């Protein structure tokens, strides 16, 4: 997982091909660490992600909740997998998280 600090308050996270139970804890740690370091806008670039499960979705929602509590926001962008598009639409994720 690659992390780019764009500014002190903005960061970009680029997960690998999967965000699943086996590695979702890493995403959680990265998001919490960025928030603790002062990030208030975190963009998750889904360009490489081909699969996500409920554990991965839970970590995205946790990051969104923690950021909102601090007047921040989570942005999801660059979704290239039709599977992920369908899953996000199915759970109406766009109502909770900004998707670009």
Q: How far apart are CA 43 and CA 13, in angstroms?
A: 6
CATH number at residue 9: 3.30.750.24
Q: How many domains does the chain have?
A: 1
> Which residue range(s) make up the domain with 28?
2-99
Q: How far apart are CA 84 and CA 96, in angstroms?
A: 16
Whether the predicted model's global pTM rises above the 0.85 cut: yes
Give residue-wise pLDDT tens across range 44-98. 999 999 999 999 999 999 999 999 999 999 999 999 999 999 999 999 999 999 9
Q: How far apart are CA 92 and CA 87, in angstroms?
A: 8
Choose between 17 and 7: higher pLDDT: 17
Cβ neighbours of 88 (radius 10 Å): 20
């Amino acid at each position: 997982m690659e992390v780019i600090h764009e500014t002190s308050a903005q960061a970009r996270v680029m997960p690998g091909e999967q965000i699943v139970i086996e590695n979702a804890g890493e995403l959680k740690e990265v998001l919490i660490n960025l928030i603790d370091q002062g990030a208030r806008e975190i963009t998750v670039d889904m360009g490489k992600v081909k699969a996500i499960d409920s554990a991965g979705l839970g970590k995205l929602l946790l990051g969104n909740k923690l950021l909102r509590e601090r007047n921040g926001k989570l942005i999801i962008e660059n979704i290239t997998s039709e599977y992920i598009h369908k899953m996000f639409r199915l759970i109406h994720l766009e109502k909770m998280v900004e998707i670009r």
